[in-house]
Amino acid sequence: MLIVMHRKATPEQIDTIIESVGRMGLTAQPIPGSQRTAIGVLGNKGYVDDVNIRNLPGVKDVIHVTKPYKVVSRDFHPRSTIIRVGNIAIGEGKKPVVIAGPCAVESEEQIVSTALHVKKMGADFLRGGAFKPRTGPHTFQGLKKEGLKLLSLAKKQTGLPVVTEIISQENLEPVLKYSDILQVGARNMQNFELLKELGRIKKPVILKRGMSATIEEFLAAAEYIYSEGNHAVILCERGIRTFETATRNSLDLSVVPIIKELSHLPIIIDPSHATGKRVLVPPMAKAALVAGAHGVMVEVHPDPDKALSDGAQSLTFPGFEKMMEDINRITTFLGY
């Protein structure tokens, strides 16, 4: 429920509303605006009788929000969220960010050489998987804690903040220690216990859309993190499963304007997992930025044909360099 106050409502009237909501066993969240204050009501499991609230002084309107997500919606938070990592800003009105690196950390030489190259070409973050959830149990599962240490080494040599995936609560402590942003993969989008745990940390989280998730389910998953207190949530579209077999998944670029209309959270695109084909990554990355995405996350490998994971969708060093040249021209054209 959203309580909209009159433009001239007094602080005392607003406090009365907050106290009344509290007596109902619910939580009131004031949302100051340029014209008037609104008060979001959280904690209800069903319909809330608004008769007593509607008749209180200062109340202009009461709106019942039927969406399964509330605090990540623009109804509750009209202004776009900007997430900062060091001097890098991710969000509306800021230059789109580029997150780049291998699907999996394989060796010191591989991760350091990749980090040095993507840094030179203008990437903002280094990505790399240390814990790898794979479709089959006999494929490379990652170097785990050793991989995290190698990511840390690459960060020291380049200054690039690190993005890596968290796959379970039991790995949270080491991943927190070595990463700047934690990534939740598509398979874990609805691992609600993990999401709630990530809601209690103080680092940003990239939440990937599940391969069969609707946009409503996607935002409801983000609500689990946000409602626990971690407001640094970055949404990531990585393609959804459809009947099409020409690509690994179907990249839903319409999610960018839809998310920006429904939610205040930043949205980035992962064209590597969406397409599964190296040749398609640069055009889809560029299309994502034109559509308004706040950034892209791409896979880069020094020798993709020998990669232990997702080599077919990983850019070569020259391929990444060319993509970054094109992205720089696009962002200049878009006015960043």
pLDDT at 133: 67
Report how far residue 149's alpha carbon sits from residue 143's, in angstroms, rounded to the nearest whole number. 10
Confidence label for 162 from pLDDT (cuts 50, 70 and 90): very high
Amino acid (one-letter) located at 217: E
Q: Of 3 and 198, which is predicted with more confidence?
A: 198
Check residue 53 and give its pLDDT: 85
Nearest CA to 129 out of 33, 206, 210 is that of 206
**pLDDT at res. 50:** 76
Q: What is the mean pLDDT of residues 110-123?
A: 98
> Residue 278 contacts by C-beta under 8 Å, 6 or more apart in sequence?
304, 312, 313, 314, 315, 316, 319
Q: What pLDDT is recorded for position 197?
A: 96
Select the highest-mean-pLDDT range: 19-23, 72-76, 149-153.
Answer: 149-153
pLDDT at site 141: 65
The residue type of 273 is: H
Average pLDDT (89-93) is 91
Taking the C-alpha atoms of residue 217 and residue 47, their distance in angstroms, rounded to an integer, is 20
**DSSP characters for 279-308?**
GGHHHHHHHHHHHT-SEEEEEB-SSGGG-S
CA angle (84, 224, 183) in 5-degree steps: 50
Give percent of the chain above pLDDT 70.
96
pLDDT recorded at residue 77: 87
- For residue 75, the model assigns a pLDDT of 86
Q: What is the pTM of this model?
A: 0.88
Q: Which has more confidence, 53 or 154?
A: 154
Mean pLDDT of 300-305: 96
Residue 248 predicted with pLDDT over 80: yes
User: What gap in Å lies between CA 264 and CA 205, rounded to an integer?
Assistant: 15
Structure confidence at residue 205 (pLDDT): 98
The first and second tokens of residue 53, run together, are 């609230």
The tokens of 52 are what? 């007593």
Q: Which tokens is 290 given?
A: 């034109």
Domains of the chain: 2-63 (3.30.70.1140), 82-333 (3.20.20.70)
Task: Judge whether residue 138 has pLDDT over 60.
Answer: no
The mean pLDDT value for 101-128 works out to 97
Task: Give the least confident one: 53-67, 166-180, 197-211, 241-255.
Answer: 53-67
Give residue for tokens 């407001």.
Answer: 231
In the predicted structure, residue 272 carries a pLDDT above the cut 80: yes
Q: Say what the pLDDT of residue 26 is.
A: 86
Q: How far is CA 95 from CA 110, 267, 293, in A?
A: 29, 13, 10
Nearest alpha carbon to residue 253 among 218, 290, 282, 223: 290
At 36-66, the pLDDT tens digits run 788 888 877 667 777 778 888 988 888 777 7
Rounded to the nearest integer, the mean pLDDT of the chain is: 92
Q: How far is CA 145 from CA 84, 114, 129, 282, in A?
A: 26, 19, 11, 31
Q: What is the largest CA-CA distance in the chain?
A: 69
- Give start and end residues of each alpha helix (H) in the chain: 11-23, 51-54, 108-120, 145-158, 172-178, 192-198, 215-227, 255-262, 271-275, 281-291, 317-333
Model confidence at 139: pLDDT above 70? no
Indicate if the pLDDT at residue 202 is higher than 90.
yes
Average pLDDT score over residue span 77-84: 93
- Structure confidence at residue 134 (pLDDT): 56
Nearest to 279 by CA among 226, 237, 252, 316: 316
pLDDT at 249: 95
